[in-house]
Structure 1
Amino acid sequence: MIALPIAGHWFERKALGDGITLLWEPHVHPLLRCNIWHVAGRDCDLLVDTGLGVASLAEAAADLFEKPLTVVLTHCHMDHAGGAHEFGVCCVHAAEAQALTNASNHLPLDAAAYSPNDLAWFSGIGYDISGGLLTAIPHAGFDPGTHVMQAAEASHLIGEGDMVDLGDRKFEVLHLPGHSPGSIALWDAQSGTLFSGDAIYDGPLLDQIPGSDIPAYIRSMERLRALPARIVHAGHEPSFGRGRLVELADAYLNSRSDP
């Protein structure tokens, strides 16, 4: 395996306005490069997902975490929940809690761990991971071949219709299974803002992985299509507006419609 360089810093960030900051891990392959969202509130702040967990998000973004912080995981795949162990107040859907406790949604970071058939499957859905899943390491001595996801505990179970209240804005929990059993989104109806996790994003959607459910995904996608979202901040790739939301939903529904 080719030795990877040590990254000068692991996380990038961009303030988007409306109290929202995007953080991401530029040295992670797009398959696992999760969008991490920080939302500033009056009484407390919100963190949506925690990234891969190979470097400390709590340290890198300590200046953003000075107020009480509620962490919500849109689901418990490694790229979204890998850093959850760093935070005390961690909310997940009940259908994801055991996976978080068991750290069972781990993917190897070294391409050598994947068979030719595995690599071909990922390539077929739009992700060439033959070169590995990292382009750098976070610190000296880090070994992608031995890294495993760290287990964490859910402090709160959340589900359909629950509210995440920041004091000056509230987010409604939408249960949108399909990608995973407990996939959720957070919906601010007042501003038309949706944090969609991996229920929908502008890239290859994964619905044939362990825990996924295509009929459930179809129902979730129909629900998303009808949502009057102004802006969608997704789990991967750039944010988009309602027009693109409808296009993406229609593309998925057409791809899964009966012949």
Structure 2
Amino acid sequence: MDSDRPWPFEVHQLSQRTLVIIESDRFGELPHIYAVLGPKKAIIIDTGCNTASLRDFLETLSCLEGKEFQVVNTHIHYDHIMGNYGFSMASQRRCRGICQGSRSRAFSENWKANSLQDMVGASILDFAVTDWLDEGARIYLNDDEPTDEESLEILHTPGHTPDSISLYLPAENRLFSGDLIYPGSLFLYLPGSSLEDFRESLHKLRAFIASKPEGLLLSCGHIDPELPAKALEVLRKVDLPEITSPASVPGTSPSCVDQRMSAIELR
């Protein structure tokens, strides 16, 4: 990247092991990219819009010095995968692979049509997926001494797309939710979007949260990276029968989310 131009990424440290990287992109998406640090590798959750090379930027962060990378895409919309190419090139020896959910592999593999790149005028460079993640699979932060506490547990949470996943980090009681929760409406005209799947994923998510210690945090794909899970109780209204618009479902982001979006407080 031109040394005279600032990087389009803003980094905030959420905890000892978790960073959020917010990208200023030409599409106005402001994707939230997460890096979860282990002893020898960093798990990169989504790769943004490729305004500049995410891979090159990560190489400038001292906390990632010497670490290998393992990429996980929460789903294959363009604003979550455009940076994949930088981790997929043969010369990138420090990348352990690119992972996606296995629930709707055909949808994911057809990312050229399903990523929405044509709709926004994006151009995604080719990349290779190396691992398909089943429900309940774990990605360990320390492969030499793996523990469930220090791992990311995979949950299939379709609705926004059929391939959407969330990832739970027990060590921080944190759930990376991708675009299951995001500002505005749930658009049902997008390829693979499903209100029924969305409802089921919300039921699943609420049950999952109820089984975990209080204080669980949601790290979302475009909004508050530390949203208290209890704030999502208002999403129960998605179950109401009157919410049946063929185009979109209002209220998929509770008012507290929209308010917090304009004033994200990052530690």
Fold conserved between structures, TM > 0.5: yes
In the alignment, the residues of structure 1 paired with residue 80 and residue 233 of structure 2 have an alpha-carbon distance, to the nearest angstrom, of 24
Runs of 5+ consecutive residues of structure 2 not aligned to the other structure: 89-96, 246-267
1:141-160 correspondence runs (5 A): 147-160=122-135
Aligned to 2:87: 87
Distance 2:183 2:208 in 1: 17
Q: 2:6 aligns with which of 5, 8, 28?
A: 8
> Aligned residue for 1:19?
17
Within 5 Å, which residues of 2 pair with 1:74-113? 74-88=74-88, 89-94=97-102, 95-96=104-105, 99-100=108-109, 102-104=111-113, 105-108=115-118
- Cα offset for 1:49? 0.2
User: Structure 1 residue aligned with 2:46, among 49, 53, 63?
Assistant: 49
Shift of the 216–17 alpha-carbon distance from structure 1 to 2, 3 Å rule, reads same
How many aligned positions are there?
Answer: 217
Aligned to 1:231: 217
The 2-side partners of 1:100 and 1:36 are apart by: 22
Q: State the identity %.
A: 27
Structure 1 residues 23 and 42, CA gap change in structure 2 (3 angstroms): same
Shift of 1:216: 1.0
Structure 2 Cα separation of the partners of residues 258 and 205 of structure 1: 11
Q: Which amino acid aligns with 1:17?
A: S
CA offset at residue 24 of structure 1? 1.5
Question: Which residue matches 2:167?
Answer: 186
1:191 deviation in Å? 2.8
The 8 Å contact of residues 45 and 72 in structure 2, kept in 1 or not, is answered as yes
Distance in 1, Cα, partners of 2:195 & 2:174: 26
Q: Structure 1 pair 222/67, CA: closer, same or farther in 2 (3 Å)?
A: same
Deviation per residue, 1:196-253 (Å, 9 max, x gap): 0012235433343111111111100111122326100011111301211323x32433
3-state DSSP of counterpart to 2:14: strand
Cα root mean square deviation, aligned: 2.7
C-alpha separation between the residues in 2 aligned to 1:97 and 1:225?
28
User: In structure 2, what is the equivalent of residue 242 of structure 1?
Assistant: 229
Aligned-pair CA distance for 1:161: 0.8
Which residue identity is paired with 1:189?
A: P
Q: Is the 8 A contact 2:24 2:51 kept in 1?
A: no
59-68 vs 207-216, greater mean Cα deviation: 59-68
- What TM-score results when the alignment is normalised by the length of structure 2? 0.72
Aligned partner letter, 1:196: S
Whole-Å separation in 1 of the counterparts to 2:34 and 2:109: 19
- Which segments of 5 or more consecutive residues in structure 1 lack a partner in the other structure? 1-5, 111-144
Larger RCO: Structure 1 or Structure 2 (Cα < 8 Å, ≥ 6 residues apart)? 1
